[in-house]
């Protein structure tokens, strides 16, 4: 196809007069240049427009007739939500065979934690601290999607989130810029591989650019007021990492940043992304965020909104139609728009070229491969592996866990134990409830044949009705142990699903208190899309597992941990507050001039809440114990351009093998601006047998200590630093070093 296509275009060019326009250009540039030279303005604006497929009562249809007509006349370049080899092929045949230039469509879709095999939510996977398995989830997502006609994933979501009221915290990697950057790269590489034209990879999208997670009040879509320094220090690093990793696309955020909507933020997109970072992929708006600039009140008309977005470097308009409807008239008034329209078209055609769509527009729409690949059993095996590694053991009093799988009776109580919707969470793409193994089913599969498993909901997820307590109490009293499955429904986190409180909904806490009164051991299995603030639960129940929303293999993964078939090693990628009133609360905060001192009234604190979180960033227990010793630096100081080696000995002092995530933090004691009291700069995850020790070495380079200084220059400054290594951000051994000029 590419040869045919290029020949056609080439032939047209050669037929024209003038020098060979392809001298000294790459094949890709020559091809795109020759194509752009053929295109009308309306066809270019068509490439800059994306419509959504939609679902009828009978299920997904390709698209409505108006969008198919736009496709037929070359006025549409992309669809989202057109799913499957068959439907994408139908739409593609219209574009390629009926439009004047036959430019292939690109099909996008949201697959942030799986296409058809649903994996743990991204926040859960971030708790695994296993970059290889996080990448593998992305690879499998791309494998299934690319067999189903999907070329482009609107993922990874790389927004840093410090406010768990925000429902979309479940979509990202938590609160830390460094860890968020590592996870962003793993996911981009997983989706895109080393070759976008491969049949098994898809284009990825870094979203939502930028600082969408800083929405005031944690209320989705709300405004963000943020300094450039905070923007660059906290919210931009994962985006820059994704850009450096070669992500094919960026997506604007819905939010306005200091009064300018992200979709019209030319400093953010044209200066930082496209100039400073040299990003040459495409930028797509988020849903109707172009048209929503009239709602923001920064554009009086759709035509003005289109102009603002184009001027700010938004290359493709999702869903709304301001580009195709108004930019022709805007161009007539402002000829400088032609170069912007050409650049946007070039970026879009570039992604299609890299995907190989000009070679074979149908290669991803392969029903035979789709049937063979999608929901393959190997993918379910991976889903269980990554799910069990995403579980964080928060409490285990008196070694209540692991449970003996041959107990006489286990009571499984709680409204989420049999739920098949919640493990899939929101953004479940083509995930199916029928594929979910519930917590109850997972437990039944794991226990001995003589063990009796009793079950009752006890209450609903979010109601005040306690009529189910009586039955639940009766079963609990018969049991040797109680597994209480509580938390949030799938639709309590995700887009447009922020909460004003982050406690257990309904009467679930009362259910736990009732179960505790029976005197039986109570093991809490918490299923949630955000940190849950519920001190009584954490401080009174015998064991607590943070299991998030773990996807299709939730049940077996949780049972693996409950019965000790897997020793949990998850670590929190986000702080768990004691109360919603503490928000925002995160580990890498500033010291202030009056750091907390319990005995000193005039220090930073609340008078009606304990100081500090319920659980800190990086926290997670194991069924074994680890000790850190012999923290040593290979030198007391080093110069710019040099590095230092930090060694520590890790020992498994417990009775069972286990994995530990050893974390490395630094603190810049005095900078030209105030600096966080801790910054994560590395980790190592290793398995140790009982009694085994291992020496871990970390390298800190001067460049790792850079920050945006008093003059907004990104550089490291000479001075004293502390270095920390340990099992969480609140449990560390420390030493110090000096960075010299």
Among 286, 292, 370, 395, binds ligand GLC (CB under 6 A): 286
Instruction: For residue 287, state whether it binds ligand GLC (rule: CB under 6 A).
Output: yes
By beta-carbon proximity to ligand GLC, the closer residue of 318 and 341 is 318
Buried b (16+ CB within 10 A) or exposed e, 317-348: bbbbbbbbebbbebbeeeeebeebbbebbbbb
Least distance (Å) from ligand GLC to the CB of residue 166? 13
By beta-carbon proximity to ligand GLC, the closer residue of 117 and 153 is 153
Least distance (Å) from ligand GLC to the CB of residue 491? 15
Closest CA to 202 of 80, 54, 377: 80
Least distance (Å) from ligand GLC to the CB of residue 220? 9
Residues 311, 293: Cα–Cα separation, whole Å: 13
Residues 282, 503: Cα–Cα separation, whole Å: 40
Instruction: For residue 244, state whether it binds ligand GLC (rule: CB under 6 A).
Output: no
Instruction: For residue 385, state whether it binds ligand GLC (rule: CB under 6 A).
Output: no
Closest CA to 439 of 558, 352, 340: 558
Q: Which helix (H) or strand (E) holds 394?
A: strand 392-396
Least distance (Å) from ligand GLC to the CB of residue 119? 17
- Cα 364 to chain center, whole Å? 25
Least distance (Å) from ligand GLC to the CB of residue 528? 20
By beta-carbon proximity to ligand GLC, the closer residue of 494 and 618 is 494
Least distance (Å) from ligand GLC to the CB of residue 431? 15
Q: Phi then psi for 656, rounded to 5 degrees? A: -130, 155
For the question of residue 286 being annotated catalytic, the response is yes
Instruction: For residue 480, state whether it binds ligand GLC (rule: CB under 6 A).
Output: no
Task: Point out the residue whose Cβ comes nearest to ligand GLC.
Answer: 154
By beta-carbon proximity to ligand GLC, the closer residue of 96 and 169 is 169
Q: Is 612 left (phi over 0), alpha (psi -120 to 50) or beta?
A: left
By beta-carbon proximity to ligand GLC, the closer residue of 79 and 548 is 79
By beta-carbon proximity to ligand GLC, the closer residue of 205 and 652 is 205
- Choosing from 33, 220, 286, 366, the catalytic residue is 286
Bridge partners, 638 (sequence order): 739
Residues 550, 530: Cα–Cα separation, whole Å: 13
Instruction: For residue 495, state whether it binds ligand GLC (rule: CB under 6 A).
Output: yes
Contact (CB, 8 A) for 567 and 546: no
Instruction: For residue 154, state whether it binds ligand GLC (rule: CB under 6 A).
Output: yes
Least distance (Å) from ligand GLC to the CB of residue 501? 24
- What DSSP line would sit under 655-674, residue for residue? SS-EEEEEEEEEEESS-SS-
Least distance (Å) from ligand GLC to the CB of residue 286? 5
By beta-carbon proximity to ligand GLC, the closer residue of 218 and 505 is 218
Q: List the structure tokens of 286.
A: 């988020």
Least distance (Å) from ligand GLC to the CB of residue 172? 11
Q: Which helix (H) or strand (E) holds 371?
A: helix 367-373
Please compute, for residue 629, the number of CA atoms within 13 A of its CA located in the half-sphere on the CB side: 7
Q: Is 582 left (phi over 0), alpha (psi -120 to 50) or beta?
A: alpha
Among 151, 162, 189, 207, binds ligand GLC (CB under 6 A): 207
Strands of 392-396's sheet in order across: 392-396, 543-546, 522-527, 481-487, 409-413, 452-456
By beta-carbon proximity to ligand GLC, the closer residue of 207 and 321 is 207
By beta-carbon proximity to ligand GLC, the closer residue of 285 and 622 is 285
Q: List the structure tokens of 20.
A: 């060979």
- What DSSP line would sit under 239-307, residue for residue? HHHHHHTT-SEEEE-SSEETTEEGGG-HIIIIIIIIIIS---SEEE--TTTTTTHHHHTS-SSHHHHHH
CA dihedral in degrees (181, 187, 193, 196; nearest 10)? -100
By beta-carbon proximity to ligand GLC, the closer residue of 207 and 384 is 207
- Size of residue set near ligand GLC by CB under 6 A: 7
Q: List the structure tokens of 36.
A: 């752009």
By beta-carbon proximity to ligand GLC, the closer residue of 287 and 364 is 287
Least distance (Å) from ligand GLC to the CB of residue 110? 5
What residues contact residue 247 under an 8 Å CB cut-off, 6+ apart? 188, 192, 204, 205, 206, 281
Instruction: For residue 110, state whether it binds ligand GLC (rule: CB under 6 A).
Output: yes
Least distance (Å) from ligand GLC to the CB of residue 149? 17
Cis before residue 549, ω within 30 degrees of 0?
no
Instruction: For residue 220, state whether it binds ligand GLC (rule: CB under 6 A).
Output: no
Q: Which helix (H) or strand (E) holds 723?
A: strand 719-728
Q: List the structure tokens of 425.
A: 């969470």
- Which residues are known to be catalytic? 286
Q: Which residues bind ligand GLC (CB under 6 A)?
A: 80, 110, 154, 207, 286-287, 495
């Amino acid at each position: 196809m590419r040869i045919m296509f290029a020949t056609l275009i080439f032939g047209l060019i050669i037929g024209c007069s003038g020098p060979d326009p392809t001298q000294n250009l790459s094949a890709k540039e020559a091809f795109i240049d020759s194509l752009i030279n053929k295109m009308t303005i309306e066809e270019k604006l068509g490439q800059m427009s994306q419509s959504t497929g939609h679902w009828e009562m009978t299920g997904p249809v390709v698209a409505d007739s108006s969008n198919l007509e736009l496709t037929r006349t070359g006025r549409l370049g992309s669809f989202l939500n057109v799913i499957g080899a068959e439907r994408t092929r139908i739409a593609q045949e219209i574009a390629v065979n009926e439009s004047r230039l036959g430019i292939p469509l690109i099909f996008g879709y949201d697959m942030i934690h799986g296409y058809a095999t649903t994996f743990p939510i991204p926040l859960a996977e971030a708790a695994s601290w296993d970059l290889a398995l996080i990448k593998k989830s992305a690879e499998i997502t791309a494998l299934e999607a690319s067999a189903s006609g999907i070329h482009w994933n609107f993922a990874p979501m790389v927004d840093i989130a410090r406010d768990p009221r925000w429902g979309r915290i479940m979509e990202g990697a938590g609160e830390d810029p460094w860890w968020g950057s590592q996870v962003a790269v793993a996911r981009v590489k997983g989706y895109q591989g080393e070759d976008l034209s491969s049949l098994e990879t898809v284009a990825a999208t870094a979203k939502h650019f930028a600082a969408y997670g800083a929405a005031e009040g944690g209320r989705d879509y709300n405004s963000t007021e943020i300094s450039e320094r905070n923007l660059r220090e906290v919210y931009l690093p994962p985006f820059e990492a994704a850009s450096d990793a070669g992500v094919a696309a960026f997506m604007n955020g819905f939010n306005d940043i200091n009064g300018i909507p992200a979709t019209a933020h030319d400093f953010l997109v044209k200066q930082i992304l496209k100039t400073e970072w040299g990003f040459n992929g495409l930028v797509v708006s988020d849903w109707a965020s172009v048209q929503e600039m009239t709602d923001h009140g920064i554009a009086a008309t759709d035509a003005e909104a289109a102009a603002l977005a184009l001027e700010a470097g938004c290359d493709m308009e999702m869903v709304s139609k301001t580009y195709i409807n108004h930019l022709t008239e805007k161009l007539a008034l402002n000829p400088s728009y032609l170069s912007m329209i050409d650049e946007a078209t070039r970026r879009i055609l570039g992604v299609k070229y890299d995907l190989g769509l000009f070679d074979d527009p149908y290669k991803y729409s392969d029903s035979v491969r789709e049937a063979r690949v999608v929901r393959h059993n190997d993918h379910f095996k991976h889903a269980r592996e990554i799910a069990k590694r995403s579980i964080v053991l928060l409490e285990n009093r008196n070694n209540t866990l692991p449970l003996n799988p041959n107990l006489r009776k286990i009571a499984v109580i709680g409204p989420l134990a049999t739920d098949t919707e919640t493990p899939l969470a929101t953004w479940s793409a083509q995930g199916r409830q029928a594929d979910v193994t519930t917590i109850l089913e997972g437990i039944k599969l794991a226990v001995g044949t003589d063990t009796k498993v009793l079950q009752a909901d006890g209450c609903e997820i979010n109601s005040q009705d306690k009529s189910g307590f009586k039955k639940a109490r009766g079963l609990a009293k018969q049991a040797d142990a109680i597994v209480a499955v509580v938390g949030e429904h799938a639709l309590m986190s995700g887009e447009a699903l922020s909460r004003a409180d982050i406690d257990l909904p309904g009467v679930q806490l009362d259910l736990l208190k009732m179960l505790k009164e029976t005197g039986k051991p109570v093991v809490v299995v918490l299923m949630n899309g955000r940190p849950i603030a519920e001190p009584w639960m954490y401080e009174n129940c015998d064991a607590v597992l943070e299991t998030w929303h773990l996807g299709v293999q939730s049940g077996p993964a949780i049972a693996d941990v409950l019965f000790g078939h897997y020793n949990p090693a998850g670590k929190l990628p986000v702080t768990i507050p004691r109360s919603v009133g503490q928000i925002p609360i995160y580990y890498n905060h500033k010291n202030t001039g009056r750091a907390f001192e319990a005995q000193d009234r005039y220090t930073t604190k609340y008078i009606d809440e304990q100081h500090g979180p319920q659980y800190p960033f990086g926290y997670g227990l194991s069924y074994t114990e680890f000790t850190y010793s012999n923290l040593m630096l290979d030198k007391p100081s080093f110069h710019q351009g040099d590095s230092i080696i930090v060694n520590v000995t890790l020992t498994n002092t417990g009775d069972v093998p286990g994995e530990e995530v050893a974390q490395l933090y630094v603190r810049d004691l005095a900078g030209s601006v105030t600096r966080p009291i801790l910054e994560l700069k590395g980790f190592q995850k290793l398995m140790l047998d009982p009694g085994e020790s291992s020496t871990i070495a970390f390298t800190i380079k001067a460049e790792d200590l850079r920050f945006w200084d008093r003059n907004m220059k990104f550089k490291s400054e000479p001075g004293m630093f502390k270095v920390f290594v340990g099992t969480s951000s609140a449990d560390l051994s420390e030493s110090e070093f000096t960075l010299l000029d």
